[in-house]
Amino acid sequence: MKRSGILNRHLSAGIALLGHTDTVMVCDAGLPIPDGPFVVDLAFTAGVPSFERVLTGLLDELVVERATAAREVRDHNPGATALLDRLFPAPALDLVPHEELKTMTGRARLVVRTGEARPYANVLLRCGVPF
């Protein structure tokens, strides 16, 4: 058994498959997920686990070179906006229309669904390398 870090076997396996430039969508409970990406659904109840907890846990394990979120987060979710600005200071965060972000989800290598119940709590992470 793993001593620390992400203990969920499906999420650990999904992370192990990632390489440089692969993308990971960390999403709220409401984002539509198309067929294609490997999906790890962590949603338990509304708000559990939170977007913040899952995202920060993933960032402890991943090298991320860029992030992309929906432009609409700025107007509709101040908590997620503050979190994203803190974790991905400019220019590391790109903002695109929500419809475009949903399209990008279909090209993600991994999708991690949280129980987050606040709108636009979604971010696409682009994997980097540790050297």
Report the alpha-carbon distance of residue 67 to residue 96 in Å, rounded: 11
DSSP 8-state secondary structure symbol assigned to residue 87: H
* DSSP sequence for 26-75: EE-TTS---SSSEEEE---BTTBS-HHHHHHHHHTT--EEEEEEETTHHH
Q: Is position 75 annotated in a ligand binding site? A: no
| Tokens 């949903």 belong to residue | 102
Please check if 98 is assigned to a binding site.
yes
Q: Is 120 known as a binding-site position?
A: yes
- Max Cα–Cα distance, the chain, nearest Å: 43
Residue of 20, 36, 82, 100 marked catalytic: 20
10 is known as an active-site residue? no
> What residues are annotated to the active site?
20
- Annotated binding site for substrate, which residues? 28, 98, 120-122
Residue ranges of the annotated binding site are 28, 98, 120-122
